[in-house]
């Protein structure tokens, strides 16, 4: 910031003066002085506008003429290409049919004179190619031996010109298009071919009549393609087929009923098609008198002597080609109208420009306000997360931490309800469920939320989050009423601890100043994800602290309570028994001859015996009993709510659990016995912890004096017992 004035002062003075000059030159054209300038120069403006209009009209006229000629040229070339393609397809079809007759004349079936087989073959050939109107085969005398129509069989064709011509041919010949008695159409193409034996002897002739209308389907298809691509039915798109003399063979507009000679009528395209291979010409339609563009293409008939040339004409109205120009002229008229009102347009443009600038400034201002608001929200959220992290880290109790987590999550996201479902390690046991908020009915809604498998997997993954809105439709998709549960929005996130799924934090019904929101924002999702990560870390730290405390309270070898922990448990049970007026039993169990086991089998076997003995004592004890290792092979057992009679049974269970079953050790099975001394603290005789242990130790002493592997109980410390305890001490 301090460098900015220095940078401004270091600018080139020339650049500054140019900038000032530019500002001075632009000043007369400001919005408030523009009308005054226009009033002084209105004559010049009118002259300039007149010149611009004339130049524009001239340019538009020249452009229209150029575009018109280009359109006519382009359309003419397209029609020529279509006529050429159609001529090529007709040539291929006629050549294919003449090839059929050539193959038939050389085939054994035609030379074998098997009439029935030959007639069946001819009918099949006509069925395969519908262009054939009639096919017949004669013998050497001119009598028809096989034909596609049975009525033609046995007819004498010896005097017909085609038969006389076939006698002198060596291959297939195509005759001029003419009316054929074998065909039911106006005109057809006749294909003839001689039949010769292998030694060259004349056997007969073949005649095939190919109907021209069957060939014209190619032209119909071509016309349909042109209509689909470039023109429509209203474009008067027509075609004509004529021979080399100009006789009209087919006319699409006359529906093949025309008997005209187009050359004699003076049609220029009919004359040109006999001279040139292809091209197009602009002419007048003979019947309608309209100006048309006619494309022509020659078709040379193969195997004809003399050579025959047909012509294909395709025409379209000139007005149809120039239809886009007319559309353009209509648009040009609108443009001219705008040119006549330049001042109105200029004013409107200036108003629009000012309005756009105002809207742009307003948008920028709103964007800045939104950005500032978003930054404020993120700053507040960050501060809240820092406070939340400190609060969660300071918690020393898991229940208190979870309660703090719910309150913090609900407060930061403005959710009306928050819940935490803790997963259970046992699938058969439901996990714990904590909740907070004034929307109590949402607890049941979260419990019964019908999440699908994908949603549950999303919440189970690391950083998994699930946001739902439009819950009314969500309920309806599950077959439930729309108002099944009072939830408007839902946000769920997974909490992980020790890389395992700990539970699911759920937030419902986000509140805003305008009421309930349809869903939680993206910022809410980021906050809750960060909060869940911090909560997972705090839970992990609590578990580590709890594990370290638990580890400090247990013996490392037997995993039982150590000496100090079992004494603390005894003191707690005595305090609880004093409040509830319940008895407490104390037992001291000592493994018999344990030193002999260490001396004989080694300390490894001794450690195995100690671990197994601890395991048996733990399994025999009740869930609320306390079992600890007092030292060496001696165990201290605290049994709450146990009177004298129950204490005898309890002590006997501990003894049999050790003595009745051999111990499996690396040196083989070993039988180990135990001596147990016990006493009880009853409400009638309240005793201290130290005195109880001395009484139980005295009872143990008496068991060992009577041979070990037994149980002895001292009921209460009367004077005689106290004196004996002093002597044995």
User: What's the pLDDT band for 656 if we cut at 50, 70, 90?
Assistant: very high
Q: What is the mean pLDDT of residues 197-204?
A: 85
For residues 395, 559, 713, 723, the Cα torsion angle rounded to the nearest 10 degrees is -80
User: What's the pLDDT band for 637 if we cut at 50, 70, 90?
Assistant: very high
Beta carbons within 10 angstroms of residue 509's beta carbon: 22
State the pLDDT at residue 486: 62
State the pLDDT at residue 640: 93
State the pLDDT at residue 591: 92
Q: What is the mean pLDDT of residues 214-218?
A: 71
User: Using CA atoms, how far apart are residues 323 and 112, in angstroms rounded to an integer?
Assistant: 64
End-to-end CA distance of the chain: 89
Tell me if domain 67-328 and domain 380-549 are identical in fold. yes
Tokens of 227: 């209509």
Tell me which of 120-124, 416-420, 663-667 is least confident: 416-420
**Residue 438, CA atoms < 13 Å, CB-side half-sphere:** 6
Q: What is the mean pLDDT of residues 449-471?
A: 57
Q: Residue 565 contacts by C-beta under 8 Å, 6 or more apart in sequence?
A: 553, 554, 628
- Does residue 439 carry a pLDDT above 60? no
Q: What is the mean pLDDT of residues 526-539?
A: 78
State the pLDDT at residue 675: 94
State the pLDDT at residue 555: 83
pLDDT tens-digit readout, 585-635: 999 999 999 988 888 889 899 999 999 999 999 999 998 899 999 888 899
Residue 206 pairs in a beta bridge with 137, 193
- With both helix axes pointing from N to C terminus, report the angle between 563-580 and 689-705 in degrees, rounded to the nearest 10: 110
- Does residue 537 carry a pLDDT above 60? yes
Tokens of 727: 């002597």
State the pLDDT at residue 275: 80
User: What's the pLDDT band for 42 if we cut at 50, 70, 90?
Assistant: low
Q: Rounded to an integer, what is the distance from CA 387 to the centroid of its chain? A: 40
DSSP 8-state symbol, 431: P
State the pLDDT at residue 234: 67
Q: What is the mean pLDDT of residues 423-437?
A: 58
Which is it for the CA torsion 252, 256, 262, 265, positive or negative? negative
State the pLDDT at residue 398: 72
Beta carbons within 10 angstroms of residue 222's beta carbon: 20
Q: How far is CA 722 from CA 191, 526, 688, 697, in A?
A: 145, 71, 14, 12
pLDDT, greater one: 351 or 461: 351
pLDDT, greater one: 119 or 4: 119
Tell me which of 74-88, 240-254, 464-478 is least confident: 464-478
User: Using CA atoms, how far apart are residues 652 and 631, in angstroms rounded to an integer?
Assistant: 22
Q: If you average pLDDT over every residue of the chain, what do you get?
A: 77
Domain edges within the chain: 67-328, 380-549, 554-728
CB 593 within 8 A of CB 675: no
User: What's the pLDDT band for 649 if we cut at 50, 70, 90?
Assistant: very high
State the pLDDT at residue 334: 74
State the pLDDT at residue 12: 41
State the pLDDT at residue 404: 77
From the candidate CATH numbers 3.40.50.2000, 3.30.450.20, 3.20.20.70, 3.40.50.2020, the one assigned to the domain spanning 67-328: 3.30.450.20
Q: Rounded to an integer, what is the distance from CA 561 to the centroid of its chain? A: 58
Q: What is the mean pLDDT of residues 568-596?
A: 90
Tokens of 552: 């400090």
User: What's the pLDDT band for 442 if we cut at 50, 70, 90?
Assistant: low
Tokens of 398: 């898991």
pLDDT, greater one: 160 or 384: 160
State the pLDDT at residue 90: 82
- Does residue 16 carry a pLDDT above 50? no
pLDDT, greater one: 200 or 713: 713
Question: What radius of gyration, in Å, describes the C-alpha atoms of the chain?
Answer: 57
State the pLDDT at residue 140: 85
- Does residue 256 carry a pLDDT above 80? no
**Residue 272, CA atoms < 13 Å, CB-side half-sphere:** 15
CB 467 within 8 A of CB 490: yes
Domain 380-549 adopts which CATH fold? Beta-Lactamase (3.30.450)
Give the length of the chain: 729
Q: What is the mean pLDDT of residues 705-712?
A: 90
Q: What is the mean pLDDT of residues 628-650?
A: 90
Q: What is the mean pLDDT of residues 308-334?
A: 77
Domain 554-728 adopts which CATH fold? Alpha-Beta Plaits (3.30.70)
User: Using CA atoms, how far apart are residues 586 and 615, in angstroms rounded to an integer?
Assistant: 19
Sequential DSSP letters for 187-251:
-EEEEEEEEE-TTS-EEEEEEEEEEHHHHHHHHHHHHHHHHHHT--GGG--EEEEE-TT-BEEEE
- Does residue 141 carry a pLDDT above 50? yes
Tokens of 528: 């809750």
Tokens of 347: 């004013």
- Percent of the chain with pLDDT strictly greater than 70: 76
Tell me which of 389-393, 441-445, 452-456 is least confident: 452-456
Highest mean pLDDT among 219-228, 254-263, 542-551, 557-566: 557-566
Kind and range of the H or E element at 300? strand 291-301
User: What's the pLDDT band for 663 if we cut at 50, 70, 90?
Assistant: very high
- Does residue 319 carry a pLDDT above 50? yes
pLDDT tens-digit readout, 78-134: 888 888 888 888 888 888 888 888 888 888 887 766 788 888 888 888 888 888 888
State the pLDDT at residue 650: 93
State the pLDDT at residue 550: 67
User: What's the pLDDT band for 459 if we cut at 50, 70, 90?
Assistant: low
pLDDT tens-digit readout, 220-235: 777 777 777 766 666 7
User: Using CA atoms, how far apart are residues 223 and 722, in angstroms rounded to an integer?
Assistant: 131
State the pLDDT at residue 431: 54
pLDDT tens-digit readout, 355-371: 788 788 888 888 888 88
Q: Residue 233 contacts by C-beta under 8 Å, 6 or more apart in sequence?
A: 227
State the pLDDT at residue 179: 57
Say whether the peptide bond before residue 44 is cis (omega within 30 degrees of 0): no
State the pLDDT at residue 233: 61
């Amino acid at each position: 910031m301090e460098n900015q004035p220095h940078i401004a002062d270091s600018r080139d003075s020339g650049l500054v003066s140019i900038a000032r000059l530019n500002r001075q030159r632009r000043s007369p054209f400001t919005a408030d002085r523009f009308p005054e300038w226009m009033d002084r120069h209105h004559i010049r403006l009118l002259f300039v506008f007149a010149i611009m209009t004339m130049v524009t009209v001239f340019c538009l006229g020249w452009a229209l003429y150029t575009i018109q000629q280009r359109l006519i040229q382009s359309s003419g070339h397209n029609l020529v290409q279509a006529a050429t393609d159609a001529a090529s397809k007709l040539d291929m079809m006629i050549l294919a049919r003449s090839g059929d007759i050539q193959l038939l004349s050389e085939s054994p079936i035609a030379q074998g004179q098997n009439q029935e087989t030959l007639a069946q073959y001819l009918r099949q050939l006509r069925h395969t190619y519908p262009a054939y109107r009639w096919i017949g085969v004669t013998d050497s005398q001119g009598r028809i031996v096989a034909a596609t129509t049975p009525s033609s069989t046995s007819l004498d064709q010896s005097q017909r010109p085609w038969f006389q011509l076939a006698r002198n041919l060596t291959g297939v010949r195509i005759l001029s298009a003419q009316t054929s008695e074998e065909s039911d159409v106006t005109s057809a193409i006749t294909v003839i071919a001689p039949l010769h034996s292998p030694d060259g002897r004349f056997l007969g002739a073949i005649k095939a009549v190919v109907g021209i209308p069957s060939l014209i389907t190619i032209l119909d298809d071509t016309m349909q393609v042109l209509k689909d691509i470039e023109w429509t039915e209203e474009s008067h798109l027509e075609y004509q087929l004529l021979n080399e003399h100009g006789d009209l063979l087919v006319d699409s507009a006359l529906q093949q009923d025309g008997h005209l000679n187009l050359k004699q009528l003076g049609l220029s395209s009919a004359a040109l098609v006999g001279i040139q291979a292809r091209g197009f010409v602009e002419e007048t339609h003979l019947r309608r008198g309209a100006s048309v563009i006619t494309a022509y293409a020659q078709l040379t008939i193969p195997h004809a002597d003399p050579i025959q040339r047909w012509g294909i004409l395709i025409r379209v109205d000139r007005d149809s080609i120039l239809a886009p120009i007319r559309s353009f002229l209509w648009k040009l008229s609108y443009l001219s109208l705008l040119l006549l009102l330049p001042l109105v347009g200029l004013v409107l443009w200036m108003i629009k420009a000012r309005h756009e600038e105002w809207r742009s400034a307003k948008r920028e201002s709103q964007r800045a306000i939104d950005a500032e608001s978003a930054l404020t929200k993120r700053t507040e959220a960050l501060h809240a997360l820092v406070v939340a992290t400190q609060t969660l880290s300071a918690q020393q109790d898991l229940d208190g931490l979870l309660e703090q987590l719910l309150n913090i999550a609900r407060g930061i996201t403005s959710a009306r309800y928050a819940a935490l479902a803790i997963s259970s390690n046992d699938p058969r046991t439901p996990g714990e469920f904590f909740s907070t908020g004034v929307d109590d009915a949402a607890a049941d809604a979260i419990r019964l939320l019908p999440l699908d498998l994908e949603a549950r997997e999303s919440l189970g993954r690391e950083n998994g989050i699930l946001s739902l809105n439009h819950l009314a439709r969500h309920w309806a998709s599950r077959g439930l009423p729309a108002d099944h549960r009072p939830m408007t929005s839902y946000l769920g996130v997974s909490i992980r601890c020790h890389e395992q799924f700990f539970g699911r934090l759920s937030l419902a019904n986000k509140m805003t100043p305008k009421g309930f929101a349809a869903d939680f924002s993206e910022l809410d999702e980021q906050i809750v994800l960060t909060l869940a990560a911090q909560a997972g870390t705090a839970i992990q730290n609590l578990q580590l602290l709890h594990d370290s405390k638990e580890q400090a309270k247990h013996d490392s070898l037997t995993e039982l309570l150590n000496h100090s922990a079992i004494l603390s448990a005894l003191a707690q049970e005595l305090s609880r028994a004093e409040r509830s007026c319940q008895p407490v039993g104390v037992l001291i169990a000592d493994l018999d001859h344990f030193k002999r086991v260490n001396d004989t089998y080694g300390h490894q076997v001794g450690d195995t015996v100690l671990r197994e003995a601890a395991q048996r004592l733990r399994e025999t004890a009740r869930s609320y009993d306390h079992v600890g290792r007092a030292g060496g092979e001696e165990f201290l057992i605290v049994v709450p709510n146990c009177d004298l009679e129950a204490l005898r049974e309890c002590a006997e269970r501990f003894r049999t659990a050790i003595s009745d079953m051999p111990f499996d050790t690396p040196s083989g099975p070993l039988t180990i016995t135990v001596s147990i001394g016990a006493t009880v603290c009853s409400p009638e005789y309240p005793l201290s912890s130290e005195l109880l242990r001395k009484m139980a130790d005295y009872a143990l002493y008496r068991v060992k004096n009577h041979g070990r592997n037994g149980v002895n109980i001292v009921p209460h410390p009367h004077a005689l017992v106290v004196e004996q305890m002093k002597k044995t001490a």
